Amino acid sequence: MSSPAPGLREQRKARTRKAIQEHALRLFLANGYDATTVDQIASAAGVSHMTFFRYFPSKEAVVENDEYDPLLVDLIAAQPASLGPLAVLRTAVVDGIREVCATDREALLARTRLVLTTPALRGRQWRNGDATQRLFADALAARADGEVTFALRVLASAVLGALSTALTTWVEGDGVEDLPSLVDRGFDALAHLDS
């Protein structure tokens, strides 16, 4: 699972990847996503057009970061067996968000704002949401040694909906509100859908 070997080659690759991603985000935030071309990003990162696409399958992919998913899966697996699936997701997601906010708050805010204000990226984000939903449902089923049921999938979808609503509200308020609290309120709303 860990990197094969910290050889010179691997180091260079990691550095190049990071450079491309950082320059891309910088240019997107400065000039807008659509107004930034892949050629500009590649030039800024000191690589060619083709190398960009060897590191990222598309211009959209450079924005997303799946690094949070494993964190959440771990948190789900770590919940006590006595909790029901909704409580599990609530604790795991709120804790996960809290942790990310503690270290990456500004970056998360900037990136989420970028995604929400760029139509092409919004679509991409939701496509990821589909994968994340499966991830959640799988993790919940594995924790209970059961199968992925229809109800579990609905639960995972609903939670993602609440999470995305919380993120949207957070960005619309320019990050003034506390994101973990907003997410928690989202779970409250889920728990009392008929009010």
Q: By the criterion CB under 8 A, which residues form the site for its own copies?
A: 84-87, 119, 122-124, 126-127, 129-130, 133, 150-151, 153-158, 160-162, 164-166, 168-169, 182, 185-186, 189-195
The answer to whether 110 touches 175, Cβ cutoff 8 Å, is: no
Among 3, 37, 65, 117, binds DNA (CB under 7 A): 37
Tokens of 26: 């910088």
The answer to whether 163 touches 184, Cβ cutoff 8 Å, is: no
Quote the CA–CA distance of 66 and 91 in Å, as a whole number: 20
C-alpha distance across the termini of the chain, in Å: 46
How many residues in total does the chain contain? 195
Among 3, 9, 32, 119, binds DNA (CB under 7 A): 9
Tokens of 128: 């990821």
Quote the CA–CA distance of 91 and 186 in Å, as a whole number: 12
Q: Which is nearer to DNA, 93 or 121 (CB)?
A: 121
Q: Which is nearer to its own copies, 16 or 165 (CB)?
A: 165
Does position 102 bind DNA by CB under 7 A?
no
Does position 176 bind DNA by CB under 7 A?
no
Indicate the angle between helix axes 119-143 and 85-117, nearest 10 degrees: 170
User: Least separation, in Å, of the C-beta of 110 and DNA?
Assistant: 20
Does position 54 bind DNA by CB under 7 A?
yes
Does position 21 bind DNA by CB under 7 A?
no
Enumerate binding residues for DNA (CB under 7 A): 5, 7-10, 12-13, 16, 36-39, 46-51, 53-55, 57-60
